[in-house]
Chain A
Amino acid sequence: MSVYGIMAEFTGAEQLLAAARSARAAGYGDIEAYSPFPIEGLAEATGFRRNWVAAIVLAGGLAGGIGGYFMQWYSAALSYPINSGGKPPHSWPEFIPVTFELTVLVAAIAGVAGMLALNGLPRLYHPVFNVREFDLASRNRFFLCLRHADAEAAREFLGGLSPLGVWDVPA
C-alpha cells in the first residue's frame, strides 16, 4: 500500500511547533502541519518561504486603480466627450471616487482568489481526510505529516515526540 505520508497527532500548539522544528532539524524536507487556528511561526517551521499574497493584492489594486481611471478618461475624454455643466472632458477630481472603489474591489478579489489558488483550494478531497482522527484538526487537535520519507523511520521519529498517536495516511 502506498502512503501519502506519516501523521502524528498532538494536543497543543506548542507541541506541534516544537515537533515541526525538530522534524526539520532531523532533515525531513516535506512537512505539513495542521492546526485548528493559525499559529505564529508554524508555516516557517515547515519550510514556508515566500508568501505571495501581499504582492497579488498590490498588483490587483494597481490594476484596478489604473484600469478604472483609464476607463473613465478614455470614455469621457476620448470615446464620448459630452459637455456636462461646463466641466472639462478630463475632469479628474470627479474620476477619483470610481478609481478608488475599483482599486479596492480588484485588490480584494485578487487577494481572495490568489489566496485560494496558492492554497490549491477548493479541493474537496484530500488524502489526509482519510485519517479518522483528522476530523479533530478543525476542533482541538494538532497534526504533523511527514511526506516522501522512509515510512518506518518516520513512524519511529514521530513516536519519539510523545504524540497522542501515529498513523499512516493512505494515498
Chain B
Amino acid sequence: MADVAAPLRRWSYGSVSDKIADIVLARPTHWLWFAAFGAASLGTVAFVGAIGWLFVRGIGIWGVNIPTAWGFAIANFVWWIGIGHAGTFISAILLLLRQRWRTSINRFAEAMTLFAAGIAGIFPILHLGRPWFFYWLVPYPNVMELWPQWRSALVWDIFAISTYLIVSLLFWYVGLVPDLATLRDRAASRAKRIVYGLLALGWRGEARHWARFETVYLLLAGLATPLVVSVHSVVSLDFAIDIVPGYHSTVFPPYFVAGALFSGFAMVLTLAIPLRHFFRLHDFITDRHLENAAKVLLACGWVVAYGYFIETFTAFYSGDEFEIAMVKDRLLGFYGPVYWTVLACNVIAPQILWWRPARRSAWALFAVSLVVNLGMWLERVMIVVQSMHHDFLPSAWGNFIPTVWDWITFFGSIGFFAFLFLLFVRALPTISIFEMRELVMEEKKP
C-alpha cells in the first residue's frame, strides 16, 4: 500500500492544505462548470416540475397501474439508495480496516452518499399516492392514539433510511469541521470568513478537542459499518417479505447489499475521474486508487452475478410453478431484453477489469462505471416491474410502460444529483485536508 501515498512526498502540510482549499477559495470558475451547472439546473427544474405535476394530478401521470403498482419510483429509490452505499463503506469500513487510500476519496464519496440517499428518500414519498400523509409512518402523538405498524417493512424502511441519512450527515459534517476551520482561516473575503467560520463552530484544533474528535469519528465509523449493511437489507425486505414470485427470496439482503456497493463504487468512479481531471488531483487520487476501486467493483460484480444465478437456480430447484413461470418470463417474456441487457452490463462488461491496463486506464474505468450504473438501474427496474407484471393468475398479468413523466422524473433526479454535487465541489473541500496532512506526516517519517 506504500505507493498509494508516495506522490505525497512532494507535498508539505502547507502546500497540501493550500491546494485543496484553493479549489474552493481561489480557483476561478471554469466555463465547463457553468455549462454543467446550467444543464444540471435544467434537470433540477424538470425534477421539481414533474413532482409538482404529480402532486396536482396524482400518480396516474406515471405508467403504474394494477398489477404493476410499483414502477420507476421504487426502482429509482432502490437504485439511488444503492449508490448511497459506497460513501459510507469507504468512510467507515475502510477506516476501520486502516486502508489509507480511502483518505483522498472519502469526502466526496460521503457527499455523494448524502445526496443520493436524500434523493432516494424522496421517491417512496412521491409514490405514496397521498404524499402529504407520509408522516403517518413516524410515531408521533396524535389524537387517535394510533401507532405505526411495526411489523411492516415500510416502517422499517423509513427508520432505516432516515437513520442512514442522519448518521451519514453527522459523519460527513464532523469530518468537515477541521477543514471548514482551514477555509475560515484562509479565506480572503470577510463574507467567506463569516460563513465558513459559522460552519466551523469555532474549531481551533486543541489537543483535547482532537482526542474527543478522533474517538467520536472512530465510533461513528463503527456505528456506520453495520448500518451500511442494514440499510439495503431492510430495503430488500420490502420485497423479500412479499409473496410475489421474484420478490420472495432469502438471497435478497446480501444480493441487494452487493448490488448497492457495486453501483456505489461505479458512481464513485464516475465522479472521481472527472474530478481528478478537472482539478488536477492526480497526486491525491492516483491510478492506484482507481485500480483499488476497480477491484472492489469486480468483486461486487461477481457477488451480484451469483445473486442472478442463485435466483434462477432456486426458482427451478423449488419446483414452484409460479416461480418457474416468473423466471421463464424474465428470460424470454416482454421484459426479456431488459434482463439480457442487465447481464451484459453487470456481468460481462466488468470482466474487462481482470486486465490490469484497463484498471489503470481512467477512460476504460469511466466507461465501465457508466455501463454498470446503467446496468444496475435496469436491474432495479427488472426486479421491481417484471416480478409484478407476471404473478399468479394470467388474468392479472399486464405490462408496465413508462410514460414521459416517468422518464422526466428519473432524468430530473440525475440532474438534481449533479446540481448538488457541482455546488459541493465549489463550496466545500472535496478531499479531507486534515487527513491528508496526517498522511504527509506519515510519508515524511523515515
- Which residues of A are interface residues toward B (Cβ below 8 A)? 13, 20, 32-39, 42-43, 45-46, 48, 51, 53-54, 57, 61, 71-72, 75-76, 79-80, 82, 84-85, 87, 91, 94-95, 97-98, 100-102, 104-105, 107-109, 111-112, 114-116, 118-119, 121-126, 128-129, 134-140
Q: What residues of A have a CB within 8 angstroms of the CB of B163 in the complex? A: 101-102, 104-105
Q: Which residue of A lies closest to B205 (CB)?
A: A34
Measured between beta carbons, the chain B residues less than 8 angstroms from A137 are 185, 204-205
Q: Can you report 17 residue pairs joining A to B where beta carbons are below 8 Å apart? A: A32-B207, A33-B207, A34-B204, A39-B207, A42-B207, A46-B208, A51-B211, A53-B212, A53-B216, A75-B147, A79-B145, A82-B149, A87-B151, A97-B234, A129-B204, A139-B185, A140-B17
A104:B167 contact, CB within 8 angstroms: yes
A98 to B160: give the CA distance in the assembly, Å: 8
Within the complex, the shortest CB–CB distance from B121 to chain A, in Å, comes to 14
Of A53, A87, A140, which one neighbours B14 at CB under 8 angstroms?
A: A140
What is the chain A residue whose CB lies nearest that of B183? Answer: A138
Whether the Cβ atoms of B208 and A114 lie closer than 8 Å is no
Binary A-proximity of B205-232 (CB < 8 A = 1, otherwise 0)? 1111111111110011001101100100
A136→B151 CA distance, assembly (Å): 55
Does B203 touch A at the CB level, under 8 Å? yes
| B167 and A108 form a contact (CB under 8 A) | yes
Within 8 A of A (CB), among B137-175: 139, 145-151, 155-156, 159-160, 162-163, 166-167, 170-171, 174
Residues of B within 8 A of A37 (CB): 13, 178, 210, 434-435, 437-438, 441
Q: Which of A75, A91, A108 contacts B223 (CB 8 A)?
A: A108
Of the candidates B18, B155, B202, B211, the one whose C-beta lies within 8 Å of that of A124 is B202
Do A114 and B216 form a contact, CB below 8 Å, given A36-B13, A80-B145? yes
Q: List which B1-18 residues lie within 8 A (CB) of chain A.
A: 12-14, 17-18
Q: By the criterion CB–CB under 8 Å, are B150 and A75 in contact?
A: yes
Bound together, the chains give a CA A112 to CA B148 distance in angstroms of 29
Given the known interface contacts A105-B163, A111-B220, the answer about A35 and B212 at a Cβ–Cβ threshold of 8 Å is no
A104 B150 Cβ-Cβ under 8 A: no
- Apart from the given pairs A107-B223, A109-B166, 6 other A-B contacts in the complex at a CB distance below 8 Å: A38-B210, A61-B223, A79-B145, A101-B159, A115-B213, A138-B182
Decide yes or no whether B396 CB sits under 8 A from chain A.
no
A102→B159 contact, CB < 8 A? yes
Instruction: State how many angstroms separate the Cβ of B212 from the closest Cβ of chain A.
Output: 5
* Pair A104/B227 contact, Cβ less than 8 Å: yes
Check if B46 is an interface residue, CB within 8 A of chain A: no
Kindly state the separation between the CA atoms of A51 and B88 in the bound complex, as whole angstroms: 25
- What's the minimum C-beta distance from B8 to chain A, rounded to whole angstroms? 13
For residue B288, CB closer than 8 A to chain A, the reply is no
A71 contact set on B, CB distance < 8 A: 139
Chain A contact residues: over half helix, strand or loop, or mixed?
helix
Q: How far is the CA of A80 from the CA of B160 in the complex (A)?
A: 23
Alpha-carbon distance A75/B155, docked complex (angstroms): 14
| Separation of A118 and B211 alpha carbons in the complex (Å) | 11
Smallest beta-carbon distance A110→chain B, Å: 10
Contact of A122 among B147, B201, B216 (CB under 8 A): B201
- Tell me the smallest distance from the CB of B313 to a CB of chain A, in Å: 27
Contact B215 A54 (CB under 8 A): yes
Residue of B nearest to A61 (CB): B223
A125–B184 Cα distance when bound, in Å, is 13
Contacts of B181 in A (CB 8 A): 138
Whether A105 and B215, one on each chain, are in contact in the complex, defined by CB atoms closer than 8 angstroms, is no
A140 touches B215 (CB 8 A): no
What's the Cα separation between A97 and B230 when bound, in Å? 8
The distance in angstroms between the C-alpha atoms of A101 and B137, with both chains bound, is: 15
- Collect the chain A residues with CB atoms within 8 Å of residue B13's CB: 36-37, 139-140
Closest to A47 in B: B208
Rounded to whole angstroms, the CA-CA distance of A8 and B262 in the bound complex is: 50
Asked if A119 contacts B209 (CB within 8 A), the reply is yes
Contact B147 A79 (CB under 8 A): yes
- CB-CB under 8 A from A123, the residues of chain B are 201-202
B213 engages A38 (CB within 8 Å): yes
**B186 lies within 8 A of chain A by Cβ:** yes
Q: How distant is the Cα of A46 from the Cα of B205 in the complex, in angstroms?
A: 13
Q: Give bound CA distance, A46 to B12, whole Å.
A: 26
Distance A135 CA – B13 CA, assembled complex (angstroms) = 14
Decide if B198 is an interface residue (CB 8 Å cutoff).
yes
- Of the candidates A36, A57, A85, A121, which one forms a contact with B219 in the assembled complex, judged by CB atoms under 8 Å apart? A57
Q: Report the 4 A-B pairs with minimum CB-CB distance, sorted nearest first.
A: A140-B13, A122-B201, A43-B211, A75-B147
**A104 CB contacts on chain B under 8 angstroms:** 163, 167, 223-224, 226-227
- B245 on interface, CB distance cutoff 8 Å: no
A33 to B, closest residue via Cβ: B207
Interface centre among B178, B186, B210, B226 (most CB of A within 10 A): B210
- When chains A and B are docked, how far (Å) is the Cα of A80 from the Cα of B146? 7
What's the Cα separation between A33 and B223 when bound, in Å? 30
Residues in B neighbouring A119, C-beta threshold 8 A: 206, 208-209, 212-213
Contacts of B434 on A, CB cut-off 8 Å? 36-38
In chain B, what residue has the closest Cβ to A73?
Answer: B150
Cβ B167 vs Cβ A105 within 8 A: yes
Q: Is B220 a contact of A33 with CB atoms below 8 Å?
A: no
